[in-house]
Structure 1
Amino acid sequence: MIKTDAIIIGAGPCGLSAAIELQNLGLQVILIEKGSIVNSIYRYPTHQTFFSSSMKLSIGNIPFITAKEKPQRNDALVYYRTVAELEQLDIRSGETVLSVEKNDGGFTVTSNKAVYQADYTVVATGYYDQPNRLDAEGAELPHVHHYFKEAHPYFRKHAVVIGGKNSAVDAALELERAGAYVTVVYRGGEYSKSVKPWILPGFESLVNNGKVRMIFEGSVDVITTDTVTVSTPNGQEEIRADVVFAMIGYHPDYEFLGNMGIRLDSVSGCPDYNPDTMETSVDNLYIAGVIAAGNNANSIFIENGRHHGELIAETIKKRLQNKIAE
């Protein structure tokens, strides 16, 4: 068994930030990450541009300097690797946490590679590994994807993008630029207000000029190997589709959180936690990052989630000081 002061599950930006804050208290911290460091960002589209400025994405008082105000995916990968190196973070990547159990000595954290004992545990797992599923026949076919990487393979292919927020619009733009024939199906009646303001005019122009077909108030009924059947205000329609991108969002791993003893709101999916300390309904078990938002992932981003580590560290610091005073 490996003993440490704190275990952080997830090495995304918010997990890294929490690790830095706890290390600054003098605690020994181990981060366990089932993928690679900042795995969600690694899985972003190759040419993804962030909504935020680099300054708002920085952690650990280490500046994130880029030539352009809004960094791209690769800029972020380089930055967070550099932070991990400079802060000498102990990151166990490619390791999956199987269980977290509370005991008298703190927590026993069991992974597929080791067993750890820690006084504190921070869950910073994000939500990107759990895509929302389509309620449609054929949704599990192999050409239906919940992640978009690059458009090049779809040159002169018929692509259907399901969704109307940033990930869907970004995918549609990339596909159209690569020469795909693109149809976007969105259940909303108008463009989402969450779409990045600097890309919406260009997307609208493509729609208005017939380069991208936009179907509002549409719902997908059936997906076959080469078609998508959609219900629209004008009736049901069959659309040719060589590939389907279901960009309809993601959610936290509710089962994983529940198995730790964290109470979850049945409607919002939000874990029960104190927003002033980020401590959950289990003593000394904390959450950091977007999982605090439950189903409403658009309310927490790197910009505000990176500060969760500060709240956690301040709470632990006070408890340590009280223990010494006793």
Structure 2
Amino acid sequence: MTFYSTSDRLEIGNIPFLSQDVRPSRTELLKYYRLVTERQEINIKCYQKVTSIFKNTASYTVYAEDSNGNNIPYEANMLVIATGIFDTPRKLDVIGEDLPKLSHYYKEGHHYYGQHVTVIGGKNSAIEAAIDLYRNGAHVTLVHRGETVLEGIKPSLVLDMRNLLKKGQINFYPNSTIAMIDETTISINSPEGTVTIQNDYVFSLIGYQPNISMLQSIGIQTNSSTLVPSFNPETYESNVENVFLSGVVTSGITNRVYIEDGRFHGMKIANEIAQRLSYVQSNI
């Protein structure tokens, strides 16, 4: 996976990010994040999943579950929630979506050589997956609710996808949705009617959304249609006192915040928290 953003636009904490090419790979970015973590001595608790947050009178209790199933409580006077959106994929809401052959995440294509694979979506992740699957010998069908997939994607993908579609090497259903999925086929609602085709695997890459249930559990308000949470754009404090929001979680399902913008949220939040702590200490 190669990012669309250049490496300098992914830098955080004033630590330079050098990559082999102008646009870094996923592996390079992960190595960079690890470098930042070690250099700044950030205390990260790996393999712990936050399961719930409770609001106390003047503090918060965060419960996490480790890899052994143990519940671990953390007490805090202030919280920063930067959970992103990729843990909660958008659903198709069709019969068969829960079958094990369907995934909302794509890694690599060589496992699917010779298989009939359907990719659902029309943005960068779906197009990249479709191209990679084809190059690894899969029989690829691309389904998109829009008329074209050649607009609004990375320029580096447009030429490849245009050629594959022109030559019929990827089977494309525009203006279409999924009707149902079973063990061996997938049914598509196309402008010409419902079409059922052979299918071994499905990648539903139609986007992700924030885990609003976690936000709402402590009183954070969210827009019912966009899922954008309520927060102060100057401090990134939510409508709940001393709870801050950072990164793409602030954009709901609007896709208005990306890595290269969200990386600046942390500095504003840190400055606000530092001012509040300084005020408290000066009044002790």
| TM bucket normalised to smaller | over 0.9
Q: Is the 8 A contact 2:115 2:139 kept in 1?
A: yes
Whichever residue aligns with residue 47 of structure 2, its letter is G
Q: Is the 8 A contact 1:165 1:192 kept in 2?
A: no
Whole-angstrom distance in 2 between the partners of 1:320 and 1:225: 57
Among candidates 29, 50, 62, match of residue 15 of structure 2: 62
List alignment gaps of at least 5 residues for structure 1: 1-47
Q: Aligned-pair distance for 1:192?
A: 5.7
Among candidates 289, 292, 308, match of residue 250 of structure 2: 292
Find the counterpart in structure 2 of residue 308 from structure 1: 265
Whole-angstrom distance in 1 between the partners of 2:10 and 2:193: 45
Among candidates 183, 189, 195, match of residue 153 of structure 2: 195
Q: Aligned-pair distance for 1:324?
A: 4.8
Deviates more, 1:79-88 or 1:103-112: 103-112
Find the counterpart in structure 1 of residue 221 from structure 2: 263
Matched, 1:209 2:167: yes
Residues 199-247 of structure 1: per-residue CA shift (max 9 Å, x gap): 1111111110111111100111011111111111111111111111111
Whichever residue aligns with residue 89 of structure 2, its letter is P
Runs of 4+ with >6 A deviation: none
Q: Aligned-pair distance for 1:118?
A: 1.4
Q: Aligned-pair distance for 1:325?
A: 5.2
Whole-angstrom distance in 2 between the partners of 1:242 and 1:174: 17
Whole-angstrom distance in 1 between the partners of 2:36 and 2:237: 25
Whole-angstrom distance in 1 between the partners of 2:200 and 2:81: 39
Among candidates 259, 265, 275, match of residue 318 of structure 1: 275
Partner secondary structure for residue 161 of structure 1: strand
Q: How does 1:1-326 map to 2 (within 5 A)?
A: 48-112=1-65, 113-191=71-149, 193-296=151-254, 298-324=255-281, 326=283
Q: Is the 8 A contact 2:52 2:62 kept in 1?
A: yes
Whole-angstrom distance in 2 between the partners of 1:256 and 1:192: 36
Deviates more, 1:285-294 or 1:234-243: 234-243
Whole-angstrom distance in 2 between the partners of 1:198 and 1:161: 19
Partner secondary structure for residue 197 of structure 2: strand
Whole-angstrom distance in 2 between the partners of 1:143 and 1:67: 35
Find the counterpart in structure 1 of residue 68 from structure 2: none
Q: Aligned-pair distance for 1:264?
A: 1.2
Q: Aligned-pair distance for 1:317?
A: 2.6
Name the % identity: 38
Cα RMSD of the aligned pairs, angstroms, is 1.3
Whole-angstrom distance in 1 between the partners of 2:280 and 2:37: 31
Partner secondary structure for residue 53 of structure 2: strand
Whole-angstrom distance in 2 between the partners of 1:137 and 1:107: 40
Change (3 A) 1:210 1:83: same
Partner secondary structure for residue 171 of structure 1: helix
Whole-angstrom distance in 2 between the partners of 1:193 and 1:122: 36
Q: What is the number of equivalent residue pairs in this alignment?
A: 278
Whichever residue aligns with residue 213 of structure 1, its letter is N
Deviates more, 1:94-103 or 1:80-89: 94-103
Q: Whose RCO is larger (CA < 8 A, sep 6+)?
A: 1
